[in-house]
Amino acid sequence: MATAGKSARNPRPAGEPVLLTSRDNRWLKEFRVALRGGLPTESGFVGVEGVRLVEEALRSGCRIHAVLFSESGERHHERLSSFIDRPEMAFPVLRTTDRLFEGLADTEHPQGVAALVHPRETSFDDFVRAPDSACAPLLVVLAGVQDPGNVGTILRTAAAFGATGAVTVASGISGTANPFSPKALRASAGAALHLPILAGMSLSILFAQLKVAGVRTLASSVHEPRNGEQPLLAPWEVDWCQPVALLVGNEGAGLPEEVERSADARIRIPMASGVESLNAAAAAAVVFYEAARQRNSVPASGIQSPVRSQPPK
């Protein structure tokens, strides 16, 4: 059985890396669990696959456990060399056969490069603190979004329009898909490795902590307001330059009504008659576009709430 041996433990193996030729090699087992199994390793590393995602992982500043090339995937080494060939990069660069790489990859036509990455860790205090580049925290809460492709797409959209963090929680009986699963990471195009994410929080605890932190909670709604309830807001009727957390619910059922009522306000996108709703990812894109429009056009100082009765010109 060929193993990486001493070379796999050194930051920069001398010469050509040892070719891993046994599917029982410990490195290949870790990659198989993280990629094909979609689970974190015992040390908490997740798998990313494909040259673009590996490049994003290397750019993200997240801790890298190892990078693996297949024999044909070596063609991507030059593109990644500025990251993996630096002496200070303390992780092994490994090689295996095309056949063994295909056996651990999650994609149908693998590109022959993968990495084990430890997602960035963040505290709640850091999570609700806006970076210097933003006027206020803009958070997305995924509550019962079960499809990993939707989770990744929402995270990619939120990051593209200036969100400063994300949370995944359960909602009713529906859990939220792991944002660091291989499918979710591909759908996020690596955004999940750059965006501060709190995964698996309790929704009730999250509501309480956001309230104490002065973050307004907005529930995306598919339900008509009852008598005496506040009307639903359109996206342009919200002041997105204040600390805000947008709750996005299950793809089919949305958010439970009790969750909506626990939020500070409810929001819905006005649509043409005959159209019931948008899917979760499309709705998030519309809402976050309006948030970006306001946050990019209004200075952080002297923020004024938009006029409720006027849509954006």
DSSP for 46-61 reads EEEESHHHHHHHHHHT
Tokens, residue 152? 């990744």
Q: Cα–Cα distances in Å, from 20 out to 3, 23, 67, 100, 299?
A: 6, 8, 13, 9, 55
Contact 34, 58 (CB under 8 A): no
Q: What angle do CA 171, 175, 178 make, to 5 degrees?
A: 135
What does the pLDDT read at residue 256? 83
Q: What angle do CA 23, 83, 191 make, to 5 degrees?
A: 85
Residue located via tokens 């793809």 = 251
First and final C-alpha spacing in the chain: 67
Q: Give the chain's domains with CATH numbers.
A: 5-118 (3.30.1330.30), 124-297 (3.40.1280.10)
Could you tell me the sign of the dihedral formed by the alpha carbons of 206, 208, 210, 213, in that order? Answer: negative
Residue located via tokens 């923020």 = 303
Q: What angle do CA 126, 131, 132 make, to 5 degrees?
A: 140
What does the pLDDT read at residue 276? 64
Tokens, residue 290? 């309006």
Q: Is 171 helix (H, G, I), strand (E, B) or coil?
A: strand
What does the pLDDT read at residue 283? 87
Report the predicted TM-score, pTM, of the whole model to 2 decimal places: 0.82
Distance (Å, rounded) from C-alpha 186 to C-alpha 111? 13
Distance (Å, rounded) from C-alpha 196 to C-alpha 213? 17
What does the pLDDT read at residue 228? 65
What does the pLDDT read at residue 20? 93
Distance (Å, rounded) from C-alpha 138 to C-alpha 161? 10
What does the pLDDT read at residue 65? 94
DSSP strands (E only) in the chain: 19-20, 46-49, 63-70, 93-96, 113-118, 138-143, 165-169, 197-201, 216-220, 244-248, 265-267
Closest by Cα among 87, 88, 93, 99 to 114: 93
What does the pLDDT read at residue 154? 95
What does the pLDDT read at residue 5? 41
Tokens, residue 95? 């090689």
What does the pLDDT read at residue 287? 93
Contact 8, 18 (CB under 8 A): yes
Contact 139, 133 (CB under 8 A): no
Q: Is 6 helix (H, G, I), strand (E, B) or coil?
A: helix
Residue located via tokens 């639903």 = 232
Phi-psi region of 5 (alpha: psi -120 to 50; beta: other; left: phi over 0): left
Contact 154, 186 (CB under 8 A): no
pLDDT tens, per residue, the chain with 313 residues: 444 444 444 444 444 667 999 999 999 999 999 999 888 999 999 999 999 999 999 999 899 999 999 999 999 999 999 888 777 677 899 999 999 999 999 888 999 999 999 998 888 998 888 887 778 899 999 998 989 999 999 999 999 999 999 999 877 667 889 999 999 999 999 999 999 999 888 888 999 999 999 999 999 887 676 766 778 889 999 999 999 999 998 877 788 888 888 899 999 888 776 666 678 888 899 999 999 999 986 444 433 444 444 444 4
pLDDT one-digit tens code per residue, 248-258: 988 777 888 88
